[in-house]
Structure 1
Amino acid sequence: MPTSRVRTPKDLQLRELDHVDRRLLELLRDDARMTNQALSNTLGIAPSTCLARMKALRQAGVIRRFTIDVDPQALGQGIEALISVRLRPGARQQMASFGETLKKVPEITQYFFVGGVDDFLIHVTARDIDHIRQFVLEHLSANPIVATTQTSLVFDHVAGPATL
């Protein structure tokens, strides 16, 4: 078996990820708590090589963070919604500050700055429909730079396996 050299962030930026890097990312996507020993065993590489590859992937920004997926219902958040937001044409220069304010709102699980008709797509979790209504009124409709919103209730949220 050929030895695998440690790849630097510069290496990762210059060429595509190889099959071992991609498999490592798949394993971590499925279970970010896998130990280095379990990862290296599954990949068929030395633990030191696995650790070096993971470090290189993190330094290159390929791995941005490790996270958990919490069921919102377990936290009393029984409903989810996606809210499209369009800002007023004269307020386009305030998009960055609007995005910063969204980061501080506890109901928001994630948001996207998007191109197209709308400017933002916001994913929220809430106790019930009244909580979502109150969220829209307080955090969006009351904001003078918001032109329109459109709320879509989420019936099911399924994360698919991203192709690596």
Structure 2
Amino acid sequence: MDAKDRQIIRALQRNGRMTNQDLAATVNLSPSPCLRRLKLLEQSGAIVGYSASIDAAAYGLPVTVFVSITLTGHTEAVVKQFEQEIRRVDQVLECFVMTGTSDYLLRVVVKDLSDYETFVRKRLHPIGGIGSIDSRFVYGVVKKTNVFPVVE
């Protein structure tokens, strides 16, 4: 991937609905080479898809919670069970494997505190193998972007 490919990606991260004509103008290419590069980025898996960026509060899920999970053990069975089950939980938007004191960090969206309690009791607890759950509620956002920094 070269600098021009990264320019294309950054432009699409800012506006995934731009036409190829606009994209080409933004990255200083003619439309045909720009489209060829875009298709190659898609085929290689560098661009994995396109989606709309939605305001969670407007959608009805105004509460974001970062949840640290520590497992009771790290056997293959415990890890596999947790990861398989967490993929099925719609409230979990992202699940990261972590270093440090917790094993996983989840980004969860819910309607309210009562909805979060239901999520923990009905979705997390039944998974099993969870030793601790540490919840941190977001009360404001300073910066949120999906645009990668420039790589030199």
Deviations 1:17-47 (A, max 9, x none): 3221111111011011111111012222121
Structure 1 residue 109, shift from structure 2 partner: 1.6
Does 1:162 pair with 2:148? yes
The structure 2 residue matched to 1:122, chosen from 101, 106, 124, is 106
How many residues are paired up? 148
Question: What is the Cα deviation at residue 92 of structure 1?
Answer: 4.7
**Does 2:107 match 1:106?**
no
Larger Rg: 1
Cα distance in 1 for partners of 2:17, 2:75 equals: 43
Q: Output one character per residue of 1:25-75: Cα deviation in whole Å (capped at 9) or x when no partner.
A: 110110111111110122221211111101111222221222222111112
Percentage of pairs with the same residue: 26
Aligned partner letter, 1:20: K
Name structure 1 gaps, 5 residues minimum: 1-16
5 Å-filtered alignment, 1:68-147, equals 68-89=52-73, 91-147=75-131
1:162 Cα shift?
2.3
What TM-score, normalized to structure 2? 0.87
Q: Over aligned residue pairs, what C-alpha RMSD do you find?
A: 1.8
Structure possessing the higher relative contact order (Cα contacts under 8 Å, 6 or more residues apart) = 2
With normalisation by structure 1, the TM-score equals: 0.81
Which one of the candidate residues 132, 136, 143 is aligned to 1:152? 136
Contact 1:91 / 1:145 at 8 angstroms: preserved in 2?
no
Matched, 1:23 2:12: no
Quote the offset at 1:103 in angstroms. Answer: 2.0
5+ long unaligned stretches in structure 2: none
After TM superposition, the runs of 4+ consecutive aligned structure 1 residues lying more than 4 A away are none
